[in-house]
Structure 1
Amino acid sequence: MPGLDLTEVGAAVGPLQTWVLPALLGLGLASATGLRTFLPLLMLALAAKFEMFGIRLNDQMDWLGSWPAISALAVAAVAEFAGDKVPAVDHALNAVGYVTRPIAGAVAAGSVFWGVDPATAAVAGIIVGAPTALAFNAAQTGVRVGSTATTGGLGNPIVSLIEDVLAVLTVIVAFLAPVIIPLALVILAIVVFRLAKRIRDRPARAVV
């Protein structure tokens, strides 16, 4: 029986560690930023700071794991959490999110491409992170519009809490098992779609 060729193993592991796993991790982080701008970045910064889950940042993004950055992200995350529970304010945050969340998604995704040069990491972050965050922010908009139309905004805080939980769970899955992120995102999309449909159909059910 031929022996194990370590050269071939190393050649296979190289692209996996450099491109595939960072891309999957970045995809998960970006999808979470589509629901919350700052919370996923805060979780990423803390994971990098305390070297949890094997998270590594590329050199130009090391500042993300600094205490000043963590403090700023914590304040911003708390402010977003509180503001998103207030009807009307939540719509304003969502509207602003069409600009801020793709940026946050690109930053989060690009920062975990630690094995490539800064320019390549930035491009990879934009390709992976920005469209993903934008897509989930758009889905969130549909849910909020439906909730506002059917509950007068009173149901929005509950929807917001559900989104908080989904964002946190998505980041945790990305940290622990990035290889299942595609499946997790399919499930997340189904949950968001079903939530939006259930809210949208509520008046019709009430009539019946």
Structure 2
Amino acid sequence: MFSALTGLGLSTAAGLNAYIPLLVVGVLSNITDAVKLPDGYDWLSNWGVLGVLALLLTAEFVLDKVPAVDTVNDVIQTAIRPASGGVVFSATSAAAELDNSTWMAENPWIGWVLGIVMALAVHLLKTAARPVVNTTTAGTGAPVASVAEDSGALGLSLVAIFAPILVVLALILLALIAWWVIKRVRRLRARRRSRLASP
């Protein structure tokens, strides 16, 4: 169970920022015993790979804080964030050994699918929310939202590794945010339609 929560937490974080959970997993696997990468994922702890991920994170950190540019960045990230979610979910499958679960170990593709789906769902939520934030704040909310998302990705990554049971609370909070965003997007669309319909 804990391995699944760790994977879900990391893939959720990847939906907010593709590079933070990858860096957290890679760095922690090098400097602690908290993360043990399964066979085939040693590349994730390579310092050269981590350096490239840090450069990509720096670029996203800057681009995601600029209104309109953040929307273009989200379009590009539509492929990257779900892929990152699949990687981090699968890369932590070694945790299955810690809670004596063999089901995930026998079906490694499940981790990929769950990670991709979770990261994609969060990414789509973020992609829907950001234009609402930009519109309602005349663009001034973009950096604030971006910092909140980056902080959430880092916090959730660390919680997923060190206190996976708390991932359940994070997922409940995310569901509430999703409900609020969907409601807000529908309201904005209804206002636009009524403005267009009025003479």
Instruction: Give TM-score scaled by structure 1 length.
Output: 0.78
Q: Which runs of 4+ in 1 moved over 6 A?
A: 116-119, 198-202
Structure 1 residue identity aligned to 2:80 = T
Alignment RMSD: 2.5
Instruction: Render the CA deviation track for 1:107-128: whole Å, top value 9, x for unaligned.
Output: 010111125798843x032222
In 2 relative to 1, CA 134–170 (structure 1 residues): closer, same or farther, beyond 3 Å? Answer: same
- Answering whether residue 35 of structure 2 is matched by residue 35 of structure 1, we say no
Q: How does 1:78-117 map to 2 (within 5 A)?
A: 78-114=58-94, 115=97
Corresponding residue of 1:15: none
Q: Which shows bigger deviation, 188-197 or 23-32?
A: 188-197
Higher relative CO (Cα under 8 Å, sequence separation at least 6) belongs to: 2
Q: Which runs of 5+ in 1 are unaligned?
A: 1-19
In 2 relative to 1, CA 200–146 (structure 1 residues): closer, same or farther, beyond 3 Å? Answer: farther
- Answering whether residue 162 of structure 2 is matched by residue 182 of structure 1, we say no
Find 2:39's aligned residue among 59, 69, 92: 59
Corresponding residue of 2:149: 163
Q: Does the Cα contact within 8 Å between 1:105 and 1:125 map onto a contact in 2?
A: no
Q: Which runs of 5+ in 2 are unaligned?
A: 192-199
Structure 1 residue identity aligned to 2:158 = I
Instruction: Give TM-score scaled by structure 2 length.
Output: 0.81
Matches of 2:65 and 2:106 in 1, distance apart? 38
Shift of 1:178: 0.9
Matches of 1:177 and 1:80 in 2, distance apart? 27
In 2 relative to 1, CA 83–21 (structure 1 residues): closer, same or farther, beyond 3 Å? Answer: same
Structure 1 residue identity aligned to 2:65 = K
Corresponding residue of 1:9: none
In 2 relative to 1, CA 79–193 (structure 1 residues): closer, same or farther, beyond 3 Å? Answer: farther
Find 1:76's aligned residue among 28, 41, 56: 56
Q: How many residues align?
A: 182
